[in-house]
Amino acid sequence: MAYENIEVRTEGGKVGIITLNRPKALNALNGALMDELGIALKAFDADEAIGCMVITGSEKAFAAGADISAMAKFTYTDVYKEDFITRNWETIRSIRKPVIAAVSGFALGGGCELAMMCDFIIAADNAKFGQPEIKIGIIPGAGGTQRLPRIVGKARALEMMLSAQPVESEFAAEIGLVNGVFSSDDLDSKTHAYAQMLATRSPGAQAQIKRLVNEGLDLPLPQALALERQALPAILESADYAEGLLAFEEKRAPRFAALNRK
């Protein structure tokens, strides 16, 4: 497929790289870009050779937010009819393989929310994260009011959203928003090395872990634990578990079978 708003490639045969590519708009997120992102993510998820995905932007901006120029034309009816945000932004939540956000420069508004939808955030030392929507009189609408407090806690989340002040990558790591911070020059190599490592892990176990964590966060602890207990017996019968045990006994790296997720 020919993409207009993203660039797609593979790294080392195991990692799918998706680069947001609207440089004149600092990678502002519009409907067309999010449609293409969802298509690319699903294609990589269905590709048995791919074990991990990376979403990245430019050195100047991961994504500076949702496309305000497009949103300015929306009415209540437009948003309701088009199922704005839910229709295509949440596609990433259905992806079973690990997804890493490699963030350089600005990750503001929808850009910060997109990064939080990923499983990991690895940031360059020039990255800035923020939810500045209040400055134009609206609220974060792609998960900011819900995901951010779950990640950094109520006080920090309210501070970021009510003040509209961005936080730099080192502080973002301190409050748990970011998994790791590297120099701008090292961001790509460090991210790709991490992605290659994740791509060697059991695809079946990865998919189950992601599902259990995401679904369990919305449940009281006893129900979440029950969900985990229900998933365990099937894993014990899996080919990946059998291979993992054999590899452990033979003192070698496991060769997990790829999972067909089509």
Instruction: Provide the annotated active-site residues.
Output: 66, 110, 113, 133
Q: What is d(CA 127, CA 106) in angstroms, rounded to the nearest whole number?
A: 6
Which residue from 150, 156, 147, 142 is spatially nearest to 110, judged by alpha carbons? 142
- 261 with 96: CB under 8 angstroms? yes
Report yes or no: 104 and 58 within 8 Å, Cβ to Cβ. yes
Calculate ∠ Cα 222-227-231, nearest 5°.
Answer: 145
Residue 27 token pair = 């990678």
Check residue 252 and report its DSSP letter: S
